[in-house]
Amino acid sequence: MSRIIALIDMDCFYAQVEQRIRPELWGKPMAVSQISAGGSASIMLAITYEARAFGVKRGMSVKEAKKVCPSLEICMVPNLPTMNKADLSRYKSASDEVFDILTKQESIILEKASVDEAYLDITEAVEIACNAESPEQIIERFMAHAAELFPSTFIADGEDEKLESDQRLARIIKWLDEDCRMDSLQLNLAVGAYLIEKIRKEIFTKTQFQCSAGIGINKIIAKLVCARHKPNQQTIIPPQFVAKVYEMTPINSTMADLQMVPKEQILHEFPEQSIWLFKIMQGNDDEPIRPRLQQKSLAISKNFPGVYKLRSVAGVEKWVTNLSAEFSKRLYEDQVVNQRTALNLTISFRNDEGFYNKTVPLNSYVNIGIINNLLSFMRSYNKAGDKEAWHPPIKNISMSASRFREGVDSQTKQITLWAEKAIQRSLTPDESETKPRELNEPVTSKCVTSTEAKKKRSDSFKTVDHIPQPSTSKQSEQPELIQLDSDDEIGYEIVSSKNDNDLKMERRPFYYRDVVNDEFNENYNEIQTSVNDSTMHSEQNPREKDIPLSERSAIMSRYMPKNLDDLKNQEIKDMIEQLPEDVRQVSAQM
């Protein structure tokens, strides 16, 4: 049986998220805008279809948008109070709601394509539905109840965009009666469209969000027609119309251009994607839907626009340190939740002269390694004569990890377990579930270099004693262990509630964190093109967010060593020997 693939794409997603918060905005011309760091400019990110009718477009400034649509309502993407960064958590949890519904669908394979887009291989679900009734029964039923069963379906045949709404239904009935009776593949597409109508309805009922869909025999074709009838509609593309629809769609010109390029050049430029590209150029795509809720890469990025450009060595070092620490923390979290290890690190930065990046093997998640790598790369482009200055000034710093292998090493297992145990001990179950640290709470973060850490080796573990205890009245003033790692050396980070305006990193204890994908908005386009085969748009595994304590323990226990003898690495054993007595006891009980 030929595969039946659907692409579901949420309509003006961020805008719907804001409209749900402020229901008076439903049906109004409105847009979601993001203010740039420093508040100097604000551009449109998500625009409702009512506003699009006035000509409001993504990327327009508030002024431009208001000019074409004076009644435009604008909602701003919130900022993290302690950082000059967008707080995308509300959009990510809205996305999780949608993906929760999708993952619960039976007999489908789900591939998350972005924060608001998913491919569904519904072949098996269609097969099951087809086995329950004869083809004639299905066709009769579909034709008799077409208005109810296919309330928003179009058949892409090249003429569909001109149809009035009463003609739409007549076209479906004709297709069912003629094509679906003759050809089981077309019937399967009809059944697929019926299932997708149901899933979209369920998404709407449970979340209030509308979405659109494309249904075809492969991913490319589903993608090709997904936006053909938007919003809140879906399009089937029967194989006999593929060529015609291709012809009339802008992607065709891309494909036509590609066909002009010698195959050797494609092979050279896109070695990994070349087979796929050759097939697509022939209108042929048999790429399977890969069950995936995880992102293929993990990235962090920070823009420094205008007056915020980094012009001093101290400024660059401070931000590289801050971002590396945050990135390192996210890598560890990813390792624990997804049980995988990234092998490649791409470090990049932009200055007034250009964009520079390089990919290196990611030998360790210890943030000092990341810092050193990035700093030495950046230093080679610093042309300032003065020792303290940086020129050309830095506009962006990014780090991205990719090429994940399954599993984690024993060092990490041991260390994460130790930290997890320590944190668990420090929190009562109730508090751990309900009272993570307030997001707004002022925090400072301090990274200790490996050399300093060496000196403080014995002291470092004593930080465990300072993990806030629920019973301690002064708990918020105590430093708190966030990360501990070993790579022959012990590095640690402490977080206190002391005010320090220079360091504005938001911190939470292990596994408690808000999902912030800064690169998404700040570098959306740039990162999408600069990172190979990335699903940057989607970024966050929904499982990463607010994992309850019980589930975290279950995740940890799946791969933690049963006892210390399981650890082969002598260095780890030595390290544990250095632990203070009470901590060693915790480790020994594991």
What are the residues binding ligand TTP (CB under 6 A)? 9-14, 45-46, 115-116, 230-231, 520-521, 524-525
Q: Minimum distance between the CB of residue 524 and ligand TTP, rounded to whole angstroms?
A: 4
CA distances from 213 to 77, 222, 283, 287, 301 (A): 26, 8, 20, 19, 31
Question: What's the rounded Cα separation, in Å, for the pair 339 and 332?
Answer: 10
86: phi then psi, degrees, rounded to nearest 5 = -70, 140
Q: Minimum distance between the CB of residue 516 and ligand TTP, rounded to whole angstroms?
A: 13
Q: Minimum distance between the CB of residue 35 and ligand TTP, rounded to whole angstroms?
A: 13
Question: What's the rounded Cα separation, in Å, for the pair 270 and 284?
Answer: 18
Neighbours of 90 (CB within 10 A): 16
Q: Which is nearer to ligand TTP, 318 or 537 (CB)?
A: 537
Give Cβ neighbours of residue 420 (< 8 Å, ≥ 6 apart). 510, 511, 552, 553, 556
> What's the distance, CA 468 to chain centroid?
31
Q: Closest residue (Cβ) to ligand TTP?
A: 46
Contact (Cβ atoms closer than 8 angstroms) between residue 483 and residue 422: no
Q: Minimum distance between the CB of residue 302 and ligand TTP, rounded to whole angstroms?
A: 16
DSSP 335-368: HHHH-EEEEEEEEEEEETTEEEEEEEE-----HH
Q: Minimum distance between the CB of residue 64 and ligand TTP, rounded to whole angstroms?
A: 16
The closest of 539, 441, 449, 548 to 492, measured between CA atoms, is: 449
Q: Minimum distance between the CB of residue 299 and ligand TTP, rounded to whole angstroms?
A: 15
Element (H, E) at 399: strand 389-406
Question: What's the rounded Cα separation, in Å, for the pair 260 and 237?
Answer: 27
195: phi then psi, degrees, rounded to nearest 5 = -65, -40
Q: Which is nearer to ligand TTP, 48 or 348 (CB)?
A: 48
Helix, coil or strand: residue 263: helix
Q: Minimum distance between the CB of residue 531 and ligand TTP, rounded to whole angstroms?
A: 15
Q: Minimum distance between the CB of residue 190 and ligand TTP, rounded to whole angstroms?
A: 25
Give Cβ neighbours of residue 479 (< 8 Å, ≥ 6 apart). 463, 466, 494, 495, 496
Give Cβ neighbours of residue 568 (< 8 Å, ≥ 6 apart). 410
Q: Which is nearer to ligand TTP, 9 or 285 (CB)?
A: 9
Q: Which is nearer to ligand TTP, 8 or 342 (CB)?
A: 8
The closest of 499, 483, 501, 495 to 420, measured between CA atoms, is: 483
Q: How many residues does the chain have?
A: 590
358: phi then psi, degrees, rounded to nearest 5 = -150, 150
Q: Minimum distance between the CB of residue 33 and ligand TTP, rounded to whole angstroms?
A: 10
Q: What's the 3-state SS for 267-330?
A: HHHCCCCHHHHHHHHCCCCCCCCCCECCCCCEEEEEECCHHHCEEEHHHHHHHHHHHHHHHHHH
Q: Which is nearer to ligand TTP, 346 or 521 (CB)?
A: 521
Q: Which is nearer to ligand TTP, 37 or 45 (CB)?
A: 45
Q: Minimum distance between the CB of residue 46 and ligand TTP, rounded to whole angstroms?
A: 3
Q: Which residues of 339-352 are buried (b: 16+ CB within 10 A; e: fewer)?
A: ebbbeebbbbbbbe
Angle among Cα 1, 10, 87 to the nearest 5 degrees reads 135
- Tell me the H-state helices in 464-580: 518-522, 524-530, 549-559, 570-577
Q: Which is nearer to ligand TTP, 94 or 266 (CB)?
A: 94
Helix, coil or strand: residue 404: strand
Q: Which is nearer to ligand TTP, 409 or 514 (CB)?
A: 514
Q: Minimum distance between the CB of residue 254 and ligand TTP, rounded to whole angstroms?
A: 17
Q: Which is nearer to ligand TTP, 321 or 538 (CB)?
A: 538
Question: What's the rounded Cα separation, in Å, for the pair 178 and 157?
Answer: 14
Q: DSSP class of residue 83?
A: S
Q: Minimum distance between the CB of residue 37 and ligand TTP, rounded to whole angstroms?
A: 15
Q: How many CA atoms lie within 13 A of 291 on its CB side?
A: 5
Q: Which is nearer to ligand TTP, 231 or 509 (CB)?
A: 231
Q: Which is nearer to ligand TTP, 94 or 374 (CB)?
A: 94
Q: Which is nearer to ligand TTP, 73 or 116 (CB)?
A: 116
DSSP 7-72: EEEETTHHHHHHHHHSGGGTTS-EEEEEEPGGGS-EEEEEE-HHHHTTT--TT-BHHHHHHH-TT-
Q: Minimum distance between the CB of residue 520 and ligand TTP, rounded to whole angstroms?
A: 6
Q: Minimum distance between the CB of residue 169 and ligand TTP, rounded to whole angstroms?
A: 24
Q: Which is nearer to ligand TTP, 456 or 537 (CB)?
A: 537
Tokens (6 digits) for 495: 């977080």
Q: Which is nearer to ligand TTP, 335 or 521 (CB)?
A: 521
